[in-house]
Structure formats: structure tokens, C-alpha cells
Amino acid sequence: MTDFIDALGDIFGSPTMYGSAIRLGAFLAFAALGELVAEKAGTINISVEGSLLAGAFTGAIGYDLTGSTWLGLVAGMLGGLLIAVVQGNMSHRLTADQFVVGLTANVLVLGLAGFLNASISPAAARAGVFEIPLLSELPLLGPALFGQTWPTYLVYPLIPLTWWLLYRTRWGLEVRAVGENPQAADVSGIDVNRRRRQAIEYGGLLAGLGGAFLVLGQVGSFEVTSIGGRGFIAIAAVYFGGWRLGGTVLGCMVFGMADAFRLAVPVLGYKVNAQLLAALPYVLTLTVMVIITKQFRQPAALSQPFVRGLR
């Protein structure tokens, strides 16, 4: 037992663990921030997984063509947006079921990325590490928060930006209204399905950026399997956070920490079964959801399509 506590101490005392926790958490945060906006507008956007993968792939292509990380990130955003446009138009213009569309979009992107990667196989590279002076010298968390590759830092301004959009703009108010009571929003002159599409598209942009960040800011190469279901963890993070911005970001960090913990254990020489550790984030998510879901109120119209005049 003391061995076990020592081991935990070793792991949680090592700066590398926090570094990777922030990296993994930031990746989730890109997707989860956008997903939060989409869910506030009333859509469980399952295609966030597809948006992440599309962003990773187009990001790699953008980098391969231009040699610029910036343009690669922009290309990633466009890739993520493309999937969101498909999702938004199918589910909030044509009223096809949002889960069906989302799942199919994920399968489509997985197939497309695999098929195109076999003939294009874009070469990517990892962006340089940029240490923010002074801040990165803080003990323990300093290097983790401020000693990362520079695309990581993009997630920091996105958090206040998303907050500002949701809670301090007219657009955000309308988005939230549309997710709570679409009938009332419609009566007061808001184009419900348009706001929903826009919310999903914002999510697509962010998820695409997240995918591109994974390739250009973290791994340095594109692989079809690299997202591997973490888009779904991002959705779970929104639930974890009780549909609040702070909670969502916290959820991302907790899942990032769980993932980093899994990676740190074998590196430090402890023998725990790898599969059991790999299941940890998912089990954690489910446990948290079982405890927490009832205590938060989800957007009232979540996953309910809106058709004017129908309830």
C-alpha cells in the first residue's frame, strides 16, 4: 500500500505528467468549447469526432502544400467547418435526425481520410516549442502551461472568447434561447434553425483547429487513427461540466489528466495493466455522469429538432 502511495506521489510530482496533461486537455478543450456552444443551441453534435479528424487531415495537407503552420491551422479549421456545414444543413435545414447524420458523418470522414491518405499521405511537422518568458519558470505548472508548442496557446484566448460570445453578445443570447425554448425564440423573431447551424459551425471551426493542433502542434504527423474516439470524450466533457464553460474546461483538464496518468505510469516503471488504464477516462466519464447529470439542468431543447408550428 505504501508502495502504491509512493508511486502516486512520483507520478503526480513529475512535471512531465502535467505537461502532457495540459497538451491532452488542450486538445479536448478545442473540441469541447465548440461542442458546448452547439449543445447550448440544442444539438448534441456527434460529428465533432469527424470534424476533429477532418481538421487533422486538412491541416496536414495545408502544411504539406504551404509549409506554414499558420496556414495549416487555417486549413484545419476549414476542414472542420465543412463537416459542421453538412451536419447543420442536414439536421437543421432538412430535419434529418441529428444522431443519424452525426454518426454517418463520422464514418464518412473516417473513410475519406483513410482513402485519401492512401494516395496523398501529406507530410506534416511539429511546430516549435515556445516558452513564454517568466511564466514558464513558475514551479511545476509553469512549464506545463507556458512551455508548450505555440499552437497550444491558441486555446487560452478561445476560452474567454467563447464565454464572451455566449454570455455577452446578442448572438449568444439568441443561441441560448434557441436551445432552451425554440418556440418562444421563434415567436420573438429569431431564426431558430439558422442560429443552430451557426452554433454548429462555430463548433466545427474550433474542432477543426483542434484536429490541426493535434497534427501540427503535438504529434507532427497524420494518422487516420489519431483521434480515436476522443471527440466523444469532448462531448462527455460538456456533460461533465454541467453545460457551463468553466465546468467544461475543468472536464477537459480532468480527462487530460486521466490520459496523462495512463501514459506516465509505464514510463516511470510501474506495472499496471495497460488496457485497464486505457479504459480509465471512459469509466471516469461514465461514473461522473451517473453522479452529476441529475444535478445540472441541460438545455431544455437539447436534441429536439425544431420545425415551425410543430411541438
Residues of this chain that interact with another protein (CB under 8 A) are: 44, 46, 86, 90, 94-101, 103-105, 107-108, 110-112, 114-116, 118-119, 229, 232, 235-236, 239, 273-276, 278-279, 282-283, 285-286, 289-291, 293-294, 303-305, 307-311
Nearest to 31 by CA among 209, 197, 164: 209
Nearer Cβ to another protein (100/267) = 100
Nearest to 82 by CA among 187, 233, 182, 207: 207
Measured from the CB of residue 173, what is the shortest distance to another protein in angstroms?
25
Residues 219-248 as b/e (b if ≥16 CB within 10 A, e otherwise) read beebebebbeebbbbbbbbbbbbbbebebb
Q: Which three cell numbers stand for residue 221?
A: 504527423
Q: In this structure, what DSSP letter does residue 224 have?
A: T
What region does 69 belong to: left with phi over 0, alpha with psi -120 to 50, or beta?
Answer: alpha
Nearer Cβ to another protein (67/228) = 228
Nearer Cβ to another protein (95/169) = 95
CA distance 148 to 127: 10
Per the DSSP assignment, residues forming a β-bridge with 129 are 149
Burial of 40 per CB tally in 10 Å (0-12, 13-18, 19+): buried
Nearer Cβ to another protein (136/303) = 303
Measured from the CB of residue 1, what is the shortest distance to another protein in angstroms?
23
Nearer Cβ to another protein (102/147) = 102
Measured from the CB of residue 112, what is the shortest distance to another protein in angstroms?
5
Measured from the CB of residue 169, what is the shortest distance to another protein in angstroms?
29
Measured from the CB of residue 117, what is the shortest distance to another protein in angstroms?
8
Nearer Cβ to another protein (169/225) = 225
Which amino acid type is present at position 142?
Answer: G
Q: In this structure, what DSSP letter does residue 228 have?
A: T
Measured from the CB of residue 153, what is the shortest distance to another protein in angstroms?
30
